[in-house]
Chain A
Amino acid sequence: MDSATTLTTLIILFPLLGFLINGLLGLYSDSFRNKKGLIGAISNLAVFIPFAIAVYFFVNMGQGSEPIFAELFTWIEVGSFSVDIAYQLDQLSVMMALVVTGVGFLIHLYSIGYMWHDEGYWKFFAYLNLFIFAMLNLVLADNMLLLFLGWEGVGLCSYLLIGFWYTDMANSAAGSKAFWYNRVGDFAFLIAMFLTFQHVGSLDFDVVLANLESIPADDTFWIGLLMLIGATGKSAQIPLFVWLPDAMAGPTSVSALIHAATMVTSGIYLISRMSEMFVMSPEIMMIIAVVGALTAIVAATIAITQNDIKRVLAYSTVSQLGYMFLALGSGAFTAAMFHVVTHAFFKACLFLGSGSVIHAMEHVEHGLHDEGKDVHFDPQDMRFMGGLKEYMPSTYKTFLIATIAISGIPPLAGFFSKDEILAFTFNAGFGEFAGTLYLLLWGVGIVTAFLTAFYMFRLTFGTFNGSFKLPEKISEAAGAEKYLHESPKTMTIPLWTLGGLSVFGGFLGVPNFLLATFTHQEEHINLLHNWLYNVTADYGLTLSHSAEWILMFISIGIAVAGVFIAYRMYGSGDTEESDAKLANRFGTLYQTWKEKYSIDEFYEGVVVDPVVRMSEKGLAKFDMKIVDGIVNTVGGVVRLFGSVFRYIQTGVTSSYALALVLGVIIVLSMLIL
């Protein structure tokens, strides 16, 4: 084995090892379960070492260098069908591995503090490691089937982790919901895989991408569409996005991991990986862009009306993923990956920050209980918060930084990536396909940018500004603020690291025109673009520099406007009052948003209920009458014969022996005579 293969093996194996050690020892040894420091250390190391190796690959891999293939062994070989456990390290997969392990490691570190008092501490860390293992298989796989293995793996882990507090029925239901919605997408992805194999005869990415011409144009469309459906399941896009907000039932660090670093980015990764195929079908590109834009604005409008801080963030994630799909559909795969990276930084920071807030609020609840006051409130509801910035300075500052970043205020990370997406969408409006539709989508993107800034600052102001609302709401909770405290170091260090990344992450992808306008030369200062140019099929920008400047100022202006209006309405921290005003102004529209467009109810009525009714009325009867009938008839015939012949069996040994002897005598006499 050469060194690359060895290192790749190690990347994959360490999280698996961490899962096995923590999982098995925790399962069989009670004393091990209490060694929380040890469990946390094992689990963190199991992610940190792969991160270090990924950094090594990143440093040693040149721009535009050929991919490294690490083939471990043949997994399945049947006829002409052969799949290896083999990994492909190129610029795209190494970058994804860096994000998964890097941000994943910070989340692991944070979880030590966050989950310290939880009974299932060991189990939690075992699951987290398994999650990272599955995700690394997904991003590093060199063929679709291995990718699918990781794809299902993260699905399983999300089920386990979302329903982590399984004694509560609602949490289990949320886990199942995520699982089912993902199954719908996975089914489509499987069919896409079958179709690809039918035409190309291989599932290896490099073989498939090299033989795209052997797939008929019609089937390119269908494979693309099916893959897109698969991606909408994992990445929570319309029509399969409803599971993600419910996924908030899991522990906060899980939300951060699922939403920011791992699972939901896999759809975007898949489409980027197969980008050369997707660009062959303009219709598919258009569908992707439309799905993305619609998801972005639908989720953003719902986010405005939510009061649960984690739910706001969840809808925000859905909305930002919509941006990424918009970028994919505009042929800006690099921009989409750029937003994946920056979004991982600031969204992880936001989720962990919200976790820190929830941690503090739960502490208040416990403190009040210890005083003998039976006060119950939802620690995630921002209507009980307000004024937290005095008590939790680190959390406040990092949360604010990440909020500014996601709102698209320069020069923080979110600004560059979002601006690039919008510029490319606008650009696609003048490209060879689709045209004006993309200008419309750009408009949707701009509105969403405004909404993003608005709801994110609504959230920040509502949580941290003004006065602490809990004592005002519940008179018994007077003086509760003395229980508010900053979180421990293992939680604030990841927060600050992610905060820093949210500030500087954007410089990975500074647009080329910024320098080009002044030097009048085409300088390639967009590091990410230089890094990814040979693995994705990007469309180039054809806009003039002045057009790019104008677009940039429009997006800055819109973000600032969003922040300003949010400040005017929510700056004082009086969330409910301003919400009421908003509800008055928008009337039924606001109501629709508040009811989340009734999509859940729609699915319930159109899909779930008919299926349940058909099962009860039709299939259950069929099962009982026809299927059971056939089986019972066969059994009945056997019983009938048995009831006749069983009397021959007396169970008395000597009579058997007599029959034997008689038989022998008869046979012998027949032979002799």
Chain B
Amino acid sequence: MIGIDWFLALSALLFCIGVIGVLIRKNAIVIFMCVELMLNAVNLSLISFSSHYGNVDGQILVFFSLAIAAAEAVVGLAIIIAIFRNNLSVDISKINLLRW
């Protein structure tokens, strides 16, 4: 039996990779994937705790967060596509039209 520490460590590692990806990458789609990574890192820790304590609340929360992530992906991708149509680029460093 693998202890919960391992799972939490993996979760933290995934989360950090996600954060760093969001911070340093310029491709909006990659950023988007990194956000998903962060979400799933959290999901992983939720499931770990759930199984550790023998309580299903954590698993139910994961379903919610999955549903919300799906909805968010739909909206977010639609926005990215719309931006791409106008700019022919998804480089977020160039998307600052509304500044000032």
Q: Which residues does A use to contact B, with CB under 8 Å?
A: 646-647, 649-654, 657-658, 661
How many Å lie between the Cα of A653 and that of B22 in the bound state? 9
Question: Closest Cβ of chain A: how far from B39's Cβ, in Å?
Answer: 15
Interface presence of B95 (CB below 8 A): yes
Secondary structure at the A interface, as helix, strand, loop or mixed, is: helix
Contacts of B25 in A (CB 8 A): 654
B96, A654: Cβ atoms under 8 Å? no
Residue of B nearest to A643 (CB): B100
B99, A651: Cβ atoms under 8 Å? yes
A654, B100: Cβ atoms under 8 Å? no
Residue of B nearest to A658 (CB): B23
A657, B22: Cβ atoms under 8 Å? yes
How many Å lie between the Cα of A658 and that of B92 in the bound state? 14
How many Å lie between the Cα of A408 and that of B23 in the bound state? 99
How many Å lie between the Cα of A76 and that of B92 in the bound state? 56
B92, A649: Cβ atoms under 8 Å? no
Interface presence of B98 (CB below 8 A): yes
Contacts of B92 in A (CB 8 A): 652-654
B93, A654: Cβ atoms under 8 Å? yes
Question: Closest Cβ of chain B: how far from A466's Cβ, in Å?
Answer: 81
Contacts of B19 in A (CB 8 A): 661
Contacts of B24 in A (CB 8 A): 654
A650, B26: Cβ atoms under 8 Å? no
Contacts of A658 in B (CB 8 A): 23
A653, B95: Cβ atoms under 8 Å? yes
Contacts of A649 in B (CB 8 A): 99-100
A653, B31: Cβ atoms under 8 Å? yes
A654, B23: Cβ atoms under 8 Å? yes
Contacts of B97 in A (CB 8 A): 651
Contacts of A651 in B (CB 8 A): 95-100
Return the contact of B100 from the options A646, A652, A653, A657 (Cβ within 8 A).
A646
A652, B93: Cβ atoms under 8 Å? yes
**12 A-B Cβ contacts within 8 A?**
A649-B99, A649-B100, A650-B99, A651-B97, A651-B98, A651-B99, A652-B92, A652-B93, A653-B31, A653-B92, A654-B25, A657-B23
How many Å lie between the Cα of A649 and that of B31 in the bound state? 20
B22, A650: Cβ atoms under 8 Å? no
Q: Which residues of B from 56 to 100 have beta carbons under 8 Å from A?
A: 92-93, 95-100
Residue of A nearest to B100 (CB): A646
How many Å lie between the Cα of A654 and that of B26 in the bound state? 8
Contacts of B99 in A (CB 8 A): 649-651
Contacts of B100 in A (CB 8 A): 646-647, 649, 651
Contacts of B23 in A (CB 8 A): 654, 657-658, 661
How many Å lie between the Cα of A651 and that of B25 in the bound state? 15
Question: Closest Cβ of chain A: how far from B83's Cβ, in Å?
Answer: 11
How many Å lie between the Cα of A437 and that of B42 in the bound state? 100
B98, A654: Cβ atoms under 8 Å? no
How many Å lie between the Cα of A652 and that of B97 in the bound state? 10
In the A-B complex, the 4 residue pairs with the closest CB atoms: A651-B96, A651-B99, A653-B92, A657-B22
Contacts of B95 in A (CB 8 A): 651, 653
Question: Closest Cβ of chain B: how far from A362's Cβ, in Å?
Answer: 61
Return the contact of B22 from the options A647, A652, A654 (Cβ within 8 A).
A654
Question: Closest Cβ of chain A: how far from B20's Cβ, in Å?
Answer: 9
Starting from the known contacts A649-B100, A654-B92, A658-B23, 8 additional A-B residue pairs (CB-CB under 8 Å) come to A646-B100, A649-B99, A651-B95, A651-B96, A653-B31, A653-B93, A654-B23, A661-B23
How many Å lie between the Cα of A650 and that of B93 in the bound state? 10
Contacts of A647 in B (CB 8 A): 100
Q: Which of B25, B26, B92, B95 has the most CB of A within 10 A?
A: B92
Contacts of A650 in B (CB 8 A): 96, 99
How many Å lie between the Cα of A647 and that of B100 in the bound state? 7
Question: Closest Cβ of chain B: how far from A459's Cβ, in Å?
Answer: 74
Q: Which of A649, A654, A658 has the most CB of B within 10 A?
A: A654
Return the contact of A652 from the options B31, B96, B98 (Cβ within 8 A).
B96
How many Å lie between the Cα of A657 and that of B20 in the bound state? 10
Contacts of B98 in A (CB 8 A): 651
Residue of A nearest to B98 (CB): A651
How many Å lie between the Cα of A647 and that of B97 in the bound state? 14
Residue of A nearest to B93 (CB): A652
How many Å lie between the Cα of A531 and that of B25 in the bound state? 93
Contact code string B1-30 (vs A, CB < 8 Å = 1, else 0):
000000000000000000100111110000
Contacts of A652 in B (CB 8 A): 92-93, 96
Question: Closest Cβ of chain A: how far from B38's Cβ, in Å?
Answer: 11
